[in-house]
Chain A
């Protein structure tokens, strides 16, 4: 490991490319797509993401951390009042995350070239993907919360555009709206959290500044004297993560987001964007550690999300939705890990590995792989997504089946694969900090093994249950290559040769209960897999029927009622206020008064020249009276 401090300072140009190249490409494509033609647009997008990937690889292996100002952004009073820039925090965490984002981004774009072949709006699609890469890069590289928030919103925008790519479909349009609005709720919390810290820490919201202030500054005083304020700030920031990483109770948008093209689901709604919430939480893990109460809440929400999402996943029939609930559940794991580490009072992240970051890293590869595999299946089955109409795909699509099996094995944590290692890290922390959450985590692991095995058996094994699956054919090379690369990473990403340059992502050393933990999780894995085999082997339709899970705990229905009662009620109230106060008191009453005065004034303004002249004279007299007689007396 050569310490290369120079690398850090030399990396400013790389950072500029990483951040602004995707933006430039997005703008060029979105503005000039008619001029450039489809192929040029696609080429630009794919080539630019390849360049970004190269830059990200060159950035790996960073030692220490440094802030690089790319451009000033919000500067007031020469930086004394407000000093926020587009600043890059260059350390192990951001370099590792950049690698994940650009690698999966690149593979997904390559996959999309073939997958979206027959789409009419390819340039719009690739432009939005580039915009997404730009926004995501901004979040990853951000050195302060304000910049992160700006890109946070941009990510929301690009996600909106991509979910609604097929906006002609009402369900896609609805889903994009739902995702955007649900995220807005979390974002408001995030914004309030930033403002709280902004106020407490006198305008410094850089991560380094906050950290320092927590050691010996205003934040230290706050966390000691006014713990509730600290907890409030942490929980508000957490709300941002609840929205973006789709935690309970704002998880409802993610399954619906599957209306977008499948490669988008792989990139945004599985591997990268939804992980942004976790990434942000790891960035502020020192704040989480400073608030025991906040950390407990975070761990609890994460655990509940992991468990409930896994339960819902067991009863879904749509291949993408199963994966979506699985993503929810895994994100719950990560969030739980953030909370658990915080409960232990430790601050990790930055250059020190964090179990949540570790799981984010391994999960990104195998979940992207699973989604792309699902995409390949959907593509071959003529856009059939119901697993009960598939079956027997292993015979028709051997390579895809193989990669899917590898991804499944990684996800359910078969020993020796990447998912196993990172899941162990989280369960290990849970074992130390909170046995209840450990139980939830272990049960979730069992459920995960169960529903993923179910998915695999039903979709890939047995006989074909419809025409579309019996006529399925293996996909072409451009789609297979990304699958194979990701399958390779799913297996090996936790191995030493991979994580050596990505040190900051991994966790080293084991807790005391290590062997117990490992035993329990392997037992959970076996129970889940065997149960699924016993129940689903050779079935034509689902033998289990648990309404509560199939209907996702009725969250959507409850929300619909809540919205009906509260939002419509609020709307009614607001309309009332608008009519009575705004319209009546503010507009109509003065209006009526002015109209009365105006009626009188209009007599003066009657176009009569004599009248005007008279008024002019009166005006002059008035001026003289005021200036000569009234004012000099006032002063003395």
Chain B
């Protein structure tokens, strides 16, 4: 079995579940979720066991598909987040099913599988066409997922907004791809890399294309000024879908961005300086714009949406710092590391929201009051997640932020550094407001309960946060091997 078959396998499983749900109505949500989760876990096991011995791909697919460390990492990332989203959907099923038309959650289990397939393909993409196709597979599946809890007006509104703005941004992206192709005569990253190095390319035309390309991808990763859909859509969509958007969709976007930016900023590239500058400006502004409105946010779900924007800013800054010498990671590696730490804390944060809902509480800051008394475990885990999101040392979130800042110092991007510091400081303020609320005593004595499975998964996520925060070396070593064209070539 070759690694590139795994996507096909997963797509087949998705179709199977879709049909099963349609033609065998007696199958319960639990069973569907079980099948999907088992399938995803199985594919993950196959990926881990097969990935090591992989050497050459067959010629017919080798032209479109690559399997470097980064690709394997993002494939595994997609599988893990899909698995967690399926679990969250199952957790949230009791209240989510009230908002669907038929009271069932059928496609909410099969659609994530298609998203996952898209993300996995995207991770391996070697050219812009493959990127576009797989990106659309992801996005189209998301259109449905966002609006799936259709009886909720907020979800419906979010769905429409995401559909229209998403379609628009797709158009922008395609336009950009076309211009880049027109300017460089290449669609593959390899070809673009060569073209920008060699010269003989109309620079203005290329920059024009790059602007559209970056705008289109900026929408997917929620970078300023293309972030305005985020709070509405995140709040409106069902929480599992929000997690998927916030972690999965963002990771997919950054997987592509990493490849694109690596190609465009290769040493000797004619557009290197421009791309770095625009990335650092966009990243810096995104960090600040994501952080400031969060200061006054009282809805925790919306708070997490703003936080997601701010994190996207940090990730963009990680890509902007091309010449970081202090961290043994290429920019793409730093991004991957950041995302790997971002996953457990974000999922844990949203999982907490689902637990609140299940216990009849809302998502407002006031609903968190006194949580430490009622469920110390949950309160501790949320504390861990939010402290990590803020970037407290000894939690997973610390190293990512630190490396980004070190990179900015090395690259001497002082403006971006100041913005990153402002954003990180603001983060401490708004994340710790939630923690403060939890530890504020409250009169009411309604207990907050967690199921055994939820408790287990949450504890595992919490442990991951601590382990990555205390001992990030293994993951760093794993990602240090990421071969990046730009990095290799810049070794002057």
- Chain A: residues with CB nearer than 8 A to chain B? 587, 591, 594-595, 597-598, 601, 604-605, 607, 609, 612-613, 615-616, 618-620, 622-624, 626-628, 631-632, 634-635
123-178 of chain B: CB within 8 A of chain A: 157, 160-161, 164-165, 168-169, 172
Cα separation A620 to B174 with both chains bound (whole Å): 13
8 tightest CB-CB pairs across the interface, nearest first? A619-B225, A631-B274, A624-B211, A627-B211, A623-B211, A628-B207, A620-B215, A623-B215
- Show 28 A/B contacts (Cβ-Cβ < 8 Å), sorted by A: A591-B296, A597-B292, A605-B232, A607-B157, A609-B161, A609-B164, A613-B164, A616-B168, A616-B219, A616-B225, A618-B225, A619-B218, A619-B225, A619-B226, A620-B212, A623-B212, A623-B218, A624-B211, A626-B278, A627-B207, A627-B210, A628-B208, A628-B211, A632-B203, A632-B204, A632-B274, A635-B273, A635-B274
Count residues of B near A (Cβ-Cβ below 8 Å).
35
In the complex, given contacts A612-B161, A626-B211, what are 6 additional A-B residue pairs having Cβ atoms less than 8 angstroms apart? Answer: A598-B293, A609-B160, A616-B165, A620-B212, A620-B215, A631-B277
Let me know if B274 and A620 touch, CB within 8 A.
no
Least Cβ–Cβ distance between B314 and chain A, in angstroms? 20
State which of A591, A615, A632, A634 has its C-beta within 8 Å of the C-beta of B295.
A591
Query: Which partner residue on chain B sits nearest A619 by CB separation?
Result: B225
- In the complex, are the beta carbons of A616 and B169 less than 8 A apart? yes
Say which residue of B161, B172, B210, B293 sits within 8 Å of A620 (CB atoms): B172
Are A594's CB and B211's CB within 8 A?
A: no
Asked whether, in the complex, the Cβ of A631 is within 8 Å of the Cβ of B278, the reply is yes
- Inter-chain CA distance A604–B225, complex, in Å, is 12
* Whole-angstrom CA separation of A620 from B210 in the bound complex: 11
Cα separation A634 to B90 with both chains bound (whole Å): 53
Q: What residues of B have a CB within 8 angstroms of the CB of A613 in the complex?
A: 164-165, 168
CB of B231 within 8 Å of the partner chain: yes
When chains A and B are docked, how far (Å) is the Cα of A626 from the Cα of B429?
A: 33
A81 to B: closest C-beta gap in Å: 12
Write the chain A residue with the least CB distance to B276.
A631
Chain A's closest residue to B212 (CB) is: A620
Which chain B residues in 88-124 approach chain A with CB under 8 Å? none
The answer on a CB contact under 8 Å between B228 and A612 is yes
* Contact indicator B429/A598 (Cβ below 8 Å): no
The answer to whether B278 and A623 have CB atoms under 8 Å apart is yes
With A and B bound together, what is the CA distance between A427 and B395 in angstroms?
A: 55
**With a CB–CB cut-off of 8 A, which chain A residues contact B278?**
623, 626-627, 631
B315 at the A interface (CB under 8 A): no
Question: Is residue B281 within 8 Å, beta carbon to beta carbon, of the partner chain?
Answer: yes
B394 to chain A, nearest CB (A): 14
Complex Cα–Cα for A616 and B274 (A): 21
- Alpha-carbon distance A186/B149, docked complex (angstroms): 62
B162 → A minimal CB distance (Å): 10
Tell me if B208 and A616 are in contact (CB < 8 A): no
- Give the distance to chain A from B324, nearest Cβ to Cβ, in Å: 16
Taking the closest CB of chain B, its distance from the CB of A63, in whole angstroms, is 40
Least CB distance, A613 to chain B, in whole angstroms = 6
* Listed residue (B208, B219, B293) with the most chain A CB atoms within 10 angstroms of its CB: B293
Q: Which residues of B contact A605 (CB under 8 A)?
A: 228, 231-232
Q: Does B214 contact A (CB under 8 A)?
A: yes
Determine if B229 is an interface residue (Cβ-Cβ < 8 Å).
Answer: yes
Among B157, B168, B211, the most chain A Cβ lie within 10 Å of the Cβ of B211
B228 / chain A contacts, CB cutoff of 8 Å: 604-605, 612, 615-616
How far, in angstroms, from A605 to B235 measured CA to CA in the complex? 13
Assess whether A624 is in contact with B212, with CB atoms less than 8 Å apart: yes
Residue pair B172, A612 in contact (C-beta under 8 Å): no
Q: A607 to B236, alpha carbons, bound, how many Å?
A: 11
- Which one of A601, A619, A623, A626 has the highest number of Cβ atoms from chain B below 10 Å of its Cβ? A623
Name the distance in Å between B74's Cβ and chain A's nearest Cβ.
25
The answer to whether A627 and B165 have CB atoms under 8 Å apart is: no
CA distance A591 to B291 in the complex (A): 12
Distance, CA A113 to CA B389, complexed state (A): 48
Instruction: List the A side residues contacting B211 at CB < 8 Å.
Output: 620, 623-624, 626-628
Taking CB atoms, residues of chain A closer than 8 Å to B157 are 607
Q: Are B226 and A616 in contact (CB under 8 A)?
A: yes
A631–B293 touching, CB < 8 Å: no
Chain B residues near A616 (CB-CB < 8 A): 165, 168-169, 219, 225-226, 228
